[in-house]
Amino acid sequence: MHLSQIVPPQFRLHRPRYSAISRMHFGNRQLAQVVSLIVVAIVMIPIAFVIIRALGAGQEGIDYLLKARNLRIVGNSLALMLVATICASVIGIPYAWLTSRSDLPWRRAWLVLGLLAMVIPSYLTAVTFTEAFGPKGMLQDLLEPLGVERLPNIKGFFGATLTLTVVTFPYILLPARAALLHSDRSLEEAGQSLGLDRWQVFRRVTLPQLRPALTAGMLMTALYCLSDFGAVAVMRFNAFTRAIFVQTESFRMDKASALALVLIGLTLILLLIHSHIQHRGRHYRIGTGASRELQTMSLGVWRFPALLFCFCVVFVSVAVPLLVLLSWLIGRTISNPVQVPISLLLQNTVPVSAAAALVVTMAALPLALLAMRKESRTNRWLVNLAYTGNVLPGIVIALALVFFASQNMLSLYQTLPLLIVGYAIRYLPFGISATQSAFEQINPRYEEAARSLGLSAREALIRITVPLARGGILAGSALVFLNVMKELPTTLILRPIGFRTFATHIWSAYDEAFLSSIALPGFALIVVSAFALAIILRREDTAH
């Protein structure tokens, strides 16, 4: 129906439309539990690895964590997370409103252009930003006639915040837009009839209705900021992921693990805060569907500032990276002796990403079924555990699987199946939430009707529930696909020898500064991702 299908349940935008209690017979419970147990056991491998390694550090690890520098890392990460999330919201909310409820010209085009920011990998955005906005970058070139000799260095907190803001604002835009499209227009009319002006109506009626969607989107953005490596690495901002990376670089897995444990702790606190807020905000009735045609509001003279706003957002978040890539493509830079045809990268990246999306979707199915049964504490724990996978940095997940596979399943080591397992651990939550939300949108009576007409639980699942949830599940798969395509750290370590993807090729070229060979795969990656985005968007629109 909307982004709720591709947002983890903790981030869920809308109260499930149908209660869990009425789903006693949803699918085959024993089978779902057994399969879920297996999936969760696999997901727990990296966590177990981190705990074992961190315990190995012992007292030294604790002393290390308590060093002032490491406490500063916590502060850095939190500051980055907070500021980037607020900035993303400040951009995302008006952008959502303009593209859903106003008479802004070319609304659809603005929406698509804005969302494109999501498909550009954060490391690529960061690299192109340093090129464009660096002290002697392209912006300075333009400003040279005005007497600007050099710009302040954007690296550090500012650069990391800017990068994360532009790559995460679509995660606010999508849910906010969905909620705006579904919000109850009659409430706004009630507000107007009580004498509120437009702004007051937005602030006092519309915005509170958006709250569940916004807290969900903001949580997602916050988690993205905590777990992102590309932006902080390129911008050299000492946040958790970068600190963990530096530790692994110096062969100190124990200290890296100790840091990772703190990161997991922070994430859990964030999830707790969110579920608390979500619980409190329960009385909002978002997602029950507006029975009335939504009216667009005329912008009047505000149309021009609004257009300028959208233009600026799209220019910085999408046009600047693409323009920099273009300039590298046509500019004279050192040519890479390793020439890899785009078709080969395409041939490697797309099937493996599609397979990962498929595996995630399949693995998510039983967990989503369990998540629908709220009656059991065990089930709840299983589902929550399945979520822990994506908070760990990719390199930690990858090394954990290296450890596991090289000791126990050597025949699986350095094969695509293991790489896909790594991807699946990272992106399983996307699949669970998409499937779960898609199921929750379905009237449970459909399945009961099927049961009373003689179908078994499994048949009813296959003939009724899955076909009806197809769109939402597909949108979730598309999001997994999108993320796997640009995934770097896991790919680098777990890939079969000689296997190249867009991400590894871009990394390798960037590593030796072969800028022109970043550009072409960069473009190709963005084009393919845009197709996945189109699936998500089509799903959004057919739902209305």
Partner 1 sequence: MPVKRFTLLVTLICLAHGAWALPAAAQGNDTLTIYSGRNESLIGPLLDQFVEETGIEVEVLYGGTSAVANQILTEGENSPADVFIAQDGGALGALAAAGMLSALPEEVLNLVVDSAFVSPDGVWAGLSGRARVLVYSPEGLDDTGLELPDSILDLSGEEWRGIVGWAPTNASFVSNVTAMRVLLGDSETAAWLAAMIANDVQSYPKNTPIVQAVIDGEIVAGLVNHYYLFRFLAEDPEITATLHFFPDGDPGSLINVAGAAILNSSDQPELALQFVEYMLSDSAQAYFAAKTYEYPLVATVEPSVDLPSLEEIESPEINLSDLDDLQETLEMIEDSGALD
Partner 2 sequence: MELSLYTENLTKLYNGDTPAVEDVSLQLQSGEFLTILGPSGGGKTTTLRLLAGFERPSSGLIQIGDAIVADDSRFTPPEKRRVGMVFQDYALFPHLNVAQNIAFGLSGHSKDSRMQVQRMLSLVGLTPFADRMPHELSGGQQQRVALARALAPNPDILLLDEPFSNLDTGLRAQVRSDVRNILLETETSAVFVTHDQNEALSLSDEIAVIFEGKLLQVATPHIIYNRPINSQVAHFIGEANFLPGEAQGLTAASPIGTVKLFHPKRGPVQLMIRPEALRVNFAQEGLAASVLWREFYGHYQRLGLTLEDGTELVAHTGVDRFFQRGDKTWVSLALPALAFD
Residues lying near partner 2 in the complex (CB under 8 A) are found at: 21-22, 24-25, 443, 445-446, 448-457, 459-460, 464, 467-468
Q: Of partner 2, partner 1, none, which one sits near residue 464, judging by CB under 5 to 8 A according to partner kind?
A: partner 2
Decide: helix, strand or coil at residue 334: coil
With binding defined as CB under 8 A, does residue 384 bind partner 1? Answer: no
With binding defined as CB under 8 A, does residue 122 bind partner 1? Answer: no
With binding defined as CB under 8 A, does residue 208 bind partner 1? Answer: no
Exposure on the CB side of residue 242, measured as CA atoms within 13 A: 22
Sign of CA dihedral 267, 426, 79, 275: negative
Instruction: Round to whole Å and give the CA distance between 217 and 171.
Output: 6
With binding defined as CB under 8 A, does residue 334 bind partner 1? Answer: yes
Instruction: Round to whole Å and give the CA distance between 217 and 229.
Output: 20
CB of 27 to partner 2, least distance (A): 12
CB of 319 to partner 1, least distance (A): 22
Q: Of partner 2, partner 1, none, which one sits near residue 449, judging by CB under 5 to 8 A according to partner kind?
A: partner 2
Could you say which of 58, 105, 265, 467 contacts partner 1 (CB under 8 A)?
Answer: 467
With binding defined as CB under 8 A, does residue 249 bind partner 1? Answer: yes
Q: Of partner 1, partner 2, none, which one sits near residue 484, judging by CB under 5 to 8 A according to partner kind?
A: none
Of residues 386 and 473, the one with the C-beta less far from partner 1: 473
Per-position x/- string for 76-95, each x denoting binding to partner 1 as judged by CB under 8 A, each - no binding: x-------------------
- CB-based contact 367:12 (threshold 8 Å): no
Of residues 22 and 102, the one with the C-beta less far from partner 2: 22
Of residues 320 and 418, the one with the C-beta less far from partner 1: 418
With binding defined as CB under 8 A, does residue 333 bind partner 1? Answer: yes
- Which residues in 494-513 contact partner 1 (CB under 8 A)? 496-499, 508-509, 511-513
Sign of CA dihedral 234, 325, 514, 420: positive
Of residues 158 and 403, the one with the C-beta less far from partner 1: 403
Of residues 200 and 452, the one with the C-beta less far from partner 2: 452
297: β partners: 102
Residue by residue, DSSP assigns 144-213 as GGGT---PPP-TTHHHHHHHHHHHHHHHHHHHHHHHHHHS-HHHHHHHHHTT--HHHHIIIIIHHHHHHH
With binding defined as CB under 8 A, does residue 275 bind partner 1? Answer: no
- CB-based contact 164:83 (threshold 8 Å): no
Q: Of partner 1, partner 2, none, which one sits near residue 59, judging by CB under 5 to 8 A according to partner kind?
A: none
Instruction: Round to whole Å and give the CA distance between 255 and 246.
Output: 10
Q: Can you read off the two tokens belonging to residue 304?
A: 């021009």
Q: Can you read off the two tokens belonging to residue 178?
A: 């969905």
How far is residue 235 CA from its own chain's centroid? 20
Residue by residue, DSSP assigns 418-485 as HHHHHHHHHHHHHHHHHHHHHHHTS-HHHHHHHHHTT--HHHHIIIIIHHHHHHHHHHHHHHHHHHHH
Could you say which of 158, 302, 403, 523 contacts partner 1 (CB under 8 A)?
Answer: 403
Instruction: Round to whole Å and give the CA distance between 352 and 10.
Output: 28
- CB-based contact 376:384 (threshold 8 Å): no
Instruction: Round to whole Å and give the CA distance between 354 and 427.
Output: 13
Per-position x/- string for 407-426, each x denoting binding to partner 1 as judged by CB under 8 A, each - no binding: x--xxxxxxx----------
CB of 295 to partner 2, least distance (A): 23
Q: Of partner 2, partner 1, none, which one sits near residue 458, judging by CB under 5 to 8 A according to partner kind?
A: none
Q: Of partner 1, partner 2, none, which one sits near residue 347, judging by CB under 5 to 8 A according to partner kind?
A: partner 1
Q: Of partner 2, partner 1, none, which one sits near residue 455, judging by CB under 5 to 8 A according to partner kind?
A: partner 2
Stretch that binds partner 1, among 32-40, 173-181, 267-275, 333-341 (CB under 8 A): 333-341
With binding defined as CB under 8 A, does residue 252 bind partner 1? Answer: yes
B/e letters for 352-374, b = 16+ CB within 10 Å, e = fewer, are bbbbbbbbbbebbbbbbbbbbbe
Q: How many CB atoms lie within 10 A of CB 340?
A: 17
Instruction: Round to whole Å and give the CA distance between 18 and 288.
Output: 11
Of residues 173 and 396, the one with the C-beta less far from partner 1: 396
Stretch that binds partner 1, among 111-119, 171-179, 446-454, 490-498 (CB under 8 A): 490-498
B/e letters for 148-168, b = 16+ CB within 10 Å, e = fewer, are eeeeeebbebebbbbbbbbbb
Q: Which residues bind partner 1 (CB under 8 A)?
A: 69, 72, 76, 134-136, 150, 153, 155, 233-234, 236, 238, 242-243, 246, 248-253, 332-338, 347-348, 350-351, 354-355, 358, 395, 399, 402-403, 406-407, 410-416, 466-467, 470, 473-474, 492-493, 496-499, 508-509, 511-514
